[in-house]
Chains A and B, each alone.
Chain A
Amino acid sequence: MHVLTKVFVFIAAVLSVALSTLVIAFAVNIDKIREDYQNLASAKAAIEAQSAAASAISDQERSRLNSVIEQLSREQATLKASLGNLENERNTLSAAKAKAETERDAITAKIAELGETTKTQATLITSYRDEVTTLRKNELDFRQRALDMDNRLNDLESQREVLEQNFRAVQEQLAEAKRSSASAAAPAAGIVSGAADQSFVYTGPRIQGRIEDVKVDASTGKTLVKLSVGTNDRVSKNMKMFLVRGDQFVANVVVITPDLKWSVAEVTLVNKGLQVTAGDLVVSRID
């Protein structure tokens, strides 16, 4: 064998060993790389699956958020509308406030004016009060003078009544004297009467009054009446008077106790079927 052959065979053997070493290493590395690649592929698939799931979840979340966004958009629109309404209301209220302030100022001015008017009226009232006080004082003085005059008048009236009573007494005495003289002369003198305690009919001016009360005397059983006329009206004791009701005769009464302004009489004759009642007319003669 040629030496070159040996050399080249040796080199070939060495190269073969080196080549085999390289091939083995390469194969091992390739196997590991392939294994790792498969692991990475699996991991990638898992990650992709997770990503798909996350994507689905994100899609759901996105749709949910979109719906929330839409809802919020609607709420925003609603709030904007409410805001617009509130703005309009605010403007309206501002205008009303300005108007109210203007009215307030007007009222304040009017109050001030009324205050001045009140002061003026208070001054007037004070002057009127003073005037009224003066007038009342004058009226009191006038009334005092009127009372004094009334007292004076009453005194004079009392004096007049006393004088009138005296005059009537004198008249009665005169009439009694005339009756006494006439009873001795003739019974046609105008007084139908016998003794002094017998009843008589008054022939002077007609006396007229009313029955004020009717009572029955328990002791005697006789009916007594109270007349509204007395000696002031020329009524005297034993005077015979007549009770009428309308145009109907009721009874005869004889005065038993005369007073100044009233008298007590006894019923002597009653019309059949009738009774003496308060309010009946009593006259001295029936015309």
Chain B
Amino acid sequence: MSQFGMQMPAGRKRAASPDVYTGLAVIATVFLAAATAVMWQAGAKVGKGGSPIALQESGRIELPALGK
């Protein structure tokens, strides 16, 4: 890996600067954050006690009240 890094312009020992990968990471992070937020809201709607990560029990589904 370092061999490839030595050939790539980014592999030289110089101060890294934000590049496309940074942008992609930023975009991925943004979208992941957005997806996490959406899933958080959706999970809160179907999770037990309004918690997105709490699991419902079979036969004892507890949904939060609508409008909450």
Contact = CB atoms under 8 A, between A and B. Distances in A.
Secondary structure type dominating chain A contacts: helix
Q: Indicate the size class of the contact surface on chain B.
A: 20 to 34
A104 B53 CA distance: 106
Contacts of A28: 55-56
A12 B29 contact: yes
Contacts of B17: 2
Given A15-B33, A19-B35, A29 B56 contact: yes
Contacts of A30: 46
A25 B53 contact: yes
A33 B53 contact: no
B43 A8 contact: no
Interface of B: 10, 16-19, 21-22, 25-26, 28-29, 32-33, 35-36, 39-40, 42-43, 46-48, 52-59, 61, 63
Interface of A: 1-5, 8-9, 11-12, 15-16, 18-19, 21-23, 25-26, 28-30, 32-33, 35-36, 39
Given A8-B29, A12-B32, 12 more contacts: A2-B17, A4-B26, A5-B25, A8-B22, A12-B25, A22-B36, A23-B39, A25-B43, A25-B55, A30-B46, A32-B61, A35-B58
